[in-house]
Amino acid sequence: MPFARVTVLGAGSWGTALAVLARRAGREVCLWGRDRAVLHQIAQGETPYLPGLALPEGIQPSDDLTAAVSGADVVLLVTPSRTVRQICEQIAPHLRAGVPLVLCAKGIEAGSGLLMSEVAAQVLPETPVGALSGPTFALEAAQGDYTAATVAFPFSYADRLHPEASPAARLAVSFGSGSFRPYVSDDLIGVEVGGAVKNVIAIACGMMTGAGYAENTRAALIVRGMDEMKTLAQALGGRRETVTGLSGAGDLTLTCSSTTSRNMALGVQLGQGRRRSDCFDGKPVVVEGEVNAVSVIDLAHRLGVKMPICAAVHKILHEGGDLRETFAQFWSSPIQAEPNSLDLEIAHPTGAGLAG
């Protein structure tokens, strides 16, 4: 059975797109945001974040967080990952018992090394927490281009007996339409890791593209980056196979292939030699992979997991590393095997760099 009333917290591009998808699927939709000017435009059927798109009637904009949350049957949190804890604390007194929270922010919390679901669970211990993730550029999804994504929640014993009644399945039915196709997963960890790490890999792909390297280079970074995602997911208790799905390989491929992604766009500009302060014409654009490069590497170090591509991005962004030298070290790192089950490491003929 679908959720009747959907509240989306965050009136940016993806939050607005999700509100459009929910309304298109026939749900009652409340879209909460802080910027009253943006909310006024939404009330008029427009938004500055999805230029040229006419919003469907029936999306109710609101700047009243209490009212938006208290009337919801399901809440989607679509704010930057660094704000997830704060927003969860703000909604805690108003979220009705049993109402699921769906995280659409992708990242790992700085300092704690917690996934977004773990952050939410700390603040909202009685709330079912899941995630929605996949290869989803906001404008394309909102304008009705065929799009697919994964909805993930941990499955209880009751959910396994009746999977169609699980929160994940109910959310999938709530958003499914002629153009939007959700898939259901019980591997929340695997889905979240894919969403967090792919942004860092996309910066790497952008860097090398901007620096003038060709398609071979990007393909190698995508595949080896996906292996880093699999390794981290497995270390945290997720499944490697999840990372080969929409929330991993699908999202990674999309994000690493177009400057519509802020992560790819940042990498391209840095690869072209721009200073970070000059990227995006000097505008203060939030790039999740830039923030998560720190938390991903901190977590990898604590777990003893090698993530050399993410480490290279971290070195360039946060340690002043030279872009070309850093990636040259990666390419001359010791030769290893595919698959990982073949235990092999041989010194590279040109020297030793970052193991990868």
Let me know whether 123 and 265 are in one domain.
no
Residue 52 tokens, joined: 């040229």
Question: What is d(CA 334, CA 323) in angstroms, rounded to the nearest whole number?
Answer: 20
Does one domain contain both 197 and 302?
A: yes
202, part of any domain? yes
Q: Note whether 75 and 194 are same-domain residues.
A: no
Q: Please tell me the distance from the alpha carbon of residue 252 to that of residue 227, in angstroms, as a whole number.
A: 11
- The pairing of strands 101-103 and 28-32 is unpaired
Last residue of a domain, one of 186, 209, 237: 186
Q: CATH number, domain at 56?
A: 3.40.50.720
Predicted TM-score (pTM) of this structure? 0.93
Of 141, 168, 186, the domain-final residue: 186
Same domain, residue pair 169 and 196: no
Is residue 74 classed as helix, strand or coil in its secondary structure?
strand
**Which whole-number Å values give the CA distances from 58 to 2, 26, 43, 234, 338, in the listed order?**
18, 10, 9, 42, 52
Residues 221 and 166 occupy one common structural domain: no
CATH code of the domain covering residue 259: 1.10.1040.10
For residue 19, what are the CA distances in angstroms to 72, 116, 204? 13, 21, 31
* Residue 351 lies inside a defined structural domain of this protein: no
Largest CA distance in the chain: 64
Predicted pLDDT at 351: 66
Question: What is the count of structural domains for the chain?
Answer: 2
Q: How many whole angstroms separate alpha carbon 258 and alpha carbon 101?
A: 30
Active-site entry in 106, 198, 230, 315 = 198
> What's phi and psi for 65, nearest 5 deg?
-65, -40
209 Cβ neighbours under 8 A, 6+ residues apart = 217, 218, 264, 267, 268, 271
State how far the Cα of 69 lies from the Cα of 72, in Å rounded to an integer: 5
| Beta bridge mates, 346 | 335
- Indicate whether 259 belongs to any domain: yes
Ramachandran angles phi, psi of 67, nearest 5°: -65, -40
Q: How far apart are CA 199 and CA 184, in angstroms?
A: 22
Query: Nearest-CA neighbor of 173 among 73, 38, 41, 259?
Result: 73
Both 254 and 270 in one domain: the answer is yes
Listed residue (222, 211, 313) closest to 269, CA to CA: 211
pLDDT at res. 215: 94
The encoded tokens of residue 111 equal 């300092």
Return the pLDDT at 347: 87
Per the domain annotation, does 354 fall within a domain? Answer: no
306 flagged as catalytic: no
The domain in which residue 87 lies consists of: 5-186
Residues 113 and 256 in one domain: no
User: Has residue 355 been placed in a domain?
Assistant: no
Are 223 and 167 within one domain?
A: no
List the beta bridge partners of residue 59.
29
- Domain assignment present for residue 300? The answer is yes
Match 């590279």 to its residue by tokens.
Answer: 348
Residues 159 and 207 in one domain: no
* Residue 70 burial (CB count, 10 A): 15
Please check whether residue 356 lies inside any domain of the structure.
no
207 and 307 share one domain: yes
Cβ–Cβ < 8 Å for 232, 307: yes
Q: What is the CA 284 to chain-centroid distance, rounded?
A: 20
Listed residues 149, 169, 186: the one ending a domain: 186
Do 176 and 206 sit in the same domain of this protein? Answer: no
Sequence-ordered list of residues with C-beta below 8 angstroms from that of 116, at least 6 positions apart, any chain: 81, 84, 103, 105, 106, 107, 108, 109, 131, 192
Q: Are residues 58 and 172 in the same domain?
A: yes
The pLDDT of residue 355 is 44
Query: Has residue 107 been placed in a domain?
Result: yes
Tens place of pLDDT per residue across the chain (356 aa): 899 999 999 999 999 999 999 999 999 999 999 999 999 999 999 999 999 999 999 999 999 999 999 999 999 999 999 999 999 999 999 999 999 999 998 999 988 999 999 999 999 999 999 999 999 999 999 999 999 999 999 999 999 999 999 999 999 999 999 999 999 999 999 999 999 999 999 999 999 999 999 999 999 999 999 999 999 999 999 999 999 999 999 999 999 999 999 999 999 999 999 999 999 999 999 899 999 999 999 999 999 999 999 999 999 999 999 999 999 999 998 888 887 778 888 888 986 554 44
The CA distance from 79 to 40, in Å, is: 19
| Secondary structure class of 332 (helix, strand, coil) | coil
* DSSP secondary structure letter of residue 83: G
